């Protein structure tokens, strides 16, 4: 069901994020709020769009966690991307004829459907928003590259350490952290799918990070106790996110 209550509240993470890419005016903000007006709720573990479907709109995550995934013919699944509040799930200027992947909710989510025609008209008329959206696409591509590096070169414990640092910075950019803590609802099974690990490897890696005193994870709340230590362990350099948020906070 589509609803439009509290549009400014739902759009806030998207606006906070884009302000890292361009100096948006209050007029720009109102335009972005209106852009995200077609909002829907979805419970956890449900498809937003399915593989081989024909996309009719660009998906914007406004609250909660979602993922992009692929399923092999024998049923094996891999989550290839994680989307947080404020993330667009597709490039802003184009939609594929059909999807070679699925999008699903990992937690209860609120998302918006943005018509391609609307966003194309918007960027033609507003260079600041266009700049911010291009910046967002650059950051998204950088996240994908780092994920490939993790899969190919980082050890299991380094992969998890790196993504915990990345989630912290991405959530910090949209005002969703409390100091060094943030909600981390991903299960070890989801993390295994994301990094091609077994459940045993994922569990051992989380335990190692705990034993080193780098993190704690209680009731789906992750606290980073030694951010510099975690960054050093995982070779994390947050400059790839192209953000003005200090890399050392």
Q: Are residues 87 and 39 in the same domain?
A: yes
Q: Which of 112, 103, 87 is nearest to 5 (CA)?
A: 112
Q: Are residues 38 and 104 in the same domain?
A: yes
Residue 103 lies in a domain: yes
SS3 200: helix
Q: Are residues 93 and 9 in the same domain?
A: yes
Residue 179 lies in a domain: yes
For residue 97, the model assigns a pLDDT of: 81
For residue 89, the model assigns a pLDDT of: 94
Q: Which of 180, 177, 167 is nearest to 84 (CA)?
A: 167
Q: Are residues 159 and 112 in the same domain?
A: no
* Residues 6 or more apart whose Cβ sits within 8 Å of residue 125: none
* Residues 6 or more apart whose Cβ sits within 8 Å of residue 148: none
Q: Which of 181, 182, 204, 184 is nearest to 192 (CA)?
A: 204
What's the Rg (C-alpha) of the chain? 18
Instruction: Measure the CA–CA gap between 47 and 108, rounded to whole angstroms.
Output: 11
Q: Are residues 236 and 159 in the same domain?
A: yes
For residue 98, the model assigns a pLDDT of: 81
Q: Please, how many CA atoms are within 13 Å of residue 217, restricted to the half-sphere of its CB?
A: 18
For residue 245, the model assigns a pLDDT of: 55
Q: Are residues 116 and 190 in the same domain?
A: no
Q: Are residues 47 and 94 in the same domain?
A: yes
Residue 149 lies in a domain: no
Instruction: Measure the CA–CA gap between 3 and 28, rounded to whole angstroms.
Output: 22
Instruction: Measure the CA–CA gap between 127 and 233, rounded to whole angstroms.
Output: 40
Instruction: Print the domain residue range for 215.
Output: 154-241
Residue 138 lies in a domain: no
Q: Of the candidates 127, 162, 181, which is a domain's last residue? A: 127
Q: Could you tell me the CA-to-CA distances from 83 to 61, 192, 249 in Å, in that order?
A: 7, 16, 22
Angle, CA 237 vertex, CA 236 and CA 240 arms, to 5°: 120
Query: pTM, whole model, 2 decimals?
Result: 0.93
Residue 93 lies in a domain: yes
The single-letter DSSP state of residue 220 is T
Q: Are residues 165 and 115 in the same domain?
A: no
Assign residue 55 the CATH number of its domain: 2.60.120.10
Place of tokens 């335990």: 207
pLDDT in tens, the chain (249 residues): 444 445 677 899 999 999 999 999 999 999 999 999 989 999 999 999 988 878 889 999 999 999 999 999 999 889 999 999 999 998 887 888 888 999 999 999 999 999 999 999 999 999 999 999 999 999 999 999 999 999 999 999 999 999 999 999 999 999 999 999 999 999 999 999 999 999 999 999 999 999 999 999 999 999 999 999 999 999 999 999 988 654 443
Residue 102 lies in a domain: yes
SS3 111: strand
Q: Are residues 25 and 104 in the same domain?
A: yes
Q: Are residues 16 and 122 in the same domain?
A: yes
Assign residue 164 the CATH number of its domain: 1.10.10.10
How many domains does the structure of the chain reveal? 2
Residue 229 lies in a domain: yes
Residue 139 lies in a domain: no
Q: Of the candidates 73, 108, 127, which is a domain's last residue? A: 127
Instruction: Measure the CA–CA gap between 3 and 20, rounded to whole angstroms.
Output: 28
Instruction: Measure the CA–CA gap between 227 and 166, rounded to whole angstroms.
Output: 11
Instruction: Measure the CA–CA gap between 220 and 182, rounded to whole angstroms.
Output: 9
Q: Are residues 51 and 89 in the same domain?
A: yes
Q: Are residues 68 and 29 in the same domain?
A: yes
């Amino acid at each position: 069901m589509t609803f439009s209550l509290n549009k400014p509240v739902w759009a806030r993470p998207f606006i906070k994020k884009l302000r890292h890419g361009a100096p948006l005016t209050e007029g720009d903000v109102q335009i972005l709020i209106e852009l995200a007006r077609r909002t829907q709720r979805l419970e956890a573990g449900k498809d937003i769009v399915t593989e081989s479907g024909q996309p009719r709109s660009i998906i914007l995550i406004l609250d909660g966690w979602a993922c992009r995934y692929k399923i092999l013919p024998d049923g094996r699944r891999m989550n290839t991307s994680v989307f947080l509040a404020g993330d667009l799930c597709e490039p802003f200027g184009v939609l594929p004829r059909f999807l070679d992947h699925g999008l699903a909710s990992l937690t209860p989510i609120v998302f918006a459907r943005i018509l391609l025609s609307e966003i194309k008209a918007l960027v033609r008329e507003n260079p600041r928003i266009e700049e911010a959206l291009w910046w967002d696409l650059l950051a998204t591509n950088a996240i994908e590259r780092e994920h490939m590096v993790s899969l190919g070169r980082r050890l299991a414990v380094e992969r998890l350490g790196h993504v915990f640092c990345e989630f912290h910075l991405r959530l910090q950019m949209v005002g969703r952290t409390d100091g060094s803590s943030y909600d981390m609802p991903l299960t070890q099974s989801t993390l295994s799918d994301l990094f091609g690990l077994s459940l045993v490897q994922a569990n051992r890696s989380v335990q190692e990070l705990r034993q080193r005193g780098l993190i704690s994870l209680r009731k789906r709340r992750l606290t980073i106790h030694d951010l510099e230590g975690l960054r050093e362990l995982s070779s994390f350099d947050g400059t790839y996110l192209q953000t003005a948020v200090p890399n050392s906070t």
